[in-house]
Amino acid sequence: MPELASRVSNTRPSVTMALIRRAAELRAEGKQVTSLIAGEPDFNTPEHIRAAGIEAIKRGDTRYTAGDGTNELRAALVDKLRRENGLEYASSEVVAANGTKPLLQAAFLALADPGDEVIVPAPYWVSYPDIVRLCGAVPVPVVCTQENGFLLQPEDLEAAITERTRAVLINTPNNPTGAVYDAELLRKLHDVLQRHPAVTVVTDEIYEHLTYDGLTAPSPASVGEDAKARTIVINGFSKGYVMMGWRLGFAAGPANLIKGMSSVLSHLAGSPNSISQAAAVEALRGDNSYQASNRDSYVDRRDLALSMVNQMPGLEAVRTSGSFFVFANCAGTLGRKTPAGETINSDEDFSRLAIDEAGVLVVPGSGFGLSPFLRMSYSVDLEDLRGALERLRKFCNRLS
Ligand code: PLP
């Protein structure tokens, strides 16, 4: 059998794959299994955005576009960044691509030579370490504790920086914790970086529009001109604009870095999807009132999830105000036994047993670089969520 290159064999299989397989087996046996692992909105793309895509096809917008995106899209992105983020960019400082993922990859390929380090605050979105590794760089996880609201602390950032550090990745609002950085903390992190000019900030702001409790998520680039000059802002249309399958994201940053990323992307992906770009212009310029009603719906579900999880013996979830995840600490269940005599020794045990005994799929924190925790997505129907959490509560009640 031909051997895989080490860059591929060194990537980790997804933690959720085995869980999804087990859930499918149980469903095939006729058992009820509710998945709380969704990483995407449970809404449809708004009608007017879909219509703009259909119009683009009818118009014949089906050719390659400029590698960094159409002029219309880049102009709409420049306006969006000014209007919503207070960030002033020229259109040459903005690039669109087929999703946030390839933009992250392009950023690390543009910034890091083999063996260079990228600081990845943990808990992190599962793909970050593997994207960094695929680029030949070394992910350096830095733990952000529950006590610190799962947010990177300036002294921990300082301690993690070495002469090989080329980037620090900030994801706000965060997947898997829902944590949101405020401007004051971002400024303090920036103060640390002032002493380390070789370190670029790469942000993932894809959950920007999913913040609650009156909070907004300031971009790390927005805390000052010098912060902006060292930051690559990455964002996308999958969450706030409910355009997951359209595969479109964008980045903004210093012209030389954006040029480097555009060059990488032109070789890897050619140009972003022409139809999605036309739809995205409508998403940026058209009616966005659906975002407020989607937010309201997430708030109801988050509040339900938080109150039910915090009534489960052994589980504790702190309130966070972004994305659509609850990150519950399950330390209180460790060492306890199910009625069948199985001992829970880790978050992985908890999630395996929760499928079998409660018919609920949750992701263990180990996959996000922080244990013992469980990520529960509340991007599911409210009544399904209630039912699943009720079964999980009974499961926890039965532990001895
Ligand atoms: N970044 C984070 C933090 C995510 O949770 C996800 C999707 O789950 C993505 C990026 C993927 O974005 P895209 O669909 O634009 O590739």
Q: Quick check: CB of 204 below 6 Å from ligand 1?
A: yes
173 prior amide bond cis, ω within 30: yes
- Give whole-number Cα distances, 309 to 70, 271, 334, 365, in Å: 46, 44, 16, 16
Both structure tokens of 282: 């409508």
17 — pLDDT class (breaks 50, 70, 90): confident
ipTM: 0.99
Instruction: Count other C-beta atoms under 10 Å from residue 15's C-beta.
Output: 18
Q: How far is CA 31 from the centre of its chain?
A: 31
> What pTM value is reported for the model?
0.96
Residue 1 lies in a domain: no
Same domain, 207 and 63: yes
pLDDT digits (tens, 9 = 90+) for 240-291: 999 999 999 999 999 999 999 999 999 999 999 999 999 999 999 999 999 9
* CATH code of the domain containing 385: 3.90.1150.10
Domain final residue pick, 265, 285, 305:
285
- Ligand 1 atom showing the smallest separation from residue 323 Cα: 5
Q: Which residues pair with 325 in a beta bridge?
A: 377
Q: Quick check: CB of 206 below 6 Å from ligand 1?
A: yes
Q: Quick check: CB of 39 below 6 Å from ligand 1?
A: yes
Q: Smallest Cα–Cα separation from 120: which of 145, 139, 133?
A: 139
Give me ligand 1 centre to Cα 19, in Å: 20
* Helix segments in the chain, DSSP class H: 6-9, 15-28, 47-59, 71-85, 100-111, 127-134, 154-160, 183-194, 225-228, 255-268, 274-285, 289-309, 347-358, 382-398
Residue nearest atom 10 of ligand 1, based on CA coordinates? 100
Same domain, 127 and 30: no
What residues make up the domain containing 148?
Answer: 47-285
Q: Quick check: CB of 391 below 6 Å from ligand 1?
A: no
Residue nearest atom 12 of ligand 1, based on CA coordinates? 100
Same domain, 28 and 150: no
Residue 239 lies in a domain: yes
Q: Quick check: CB of 100 below 6 Å from ligand 1?
A: yes
pLDDT digits (tens, 9 = 90+) for 83-140: 999 999 999 999 999 999 999 999 999 999 999 999 999 999 999 999 999 999 999 9
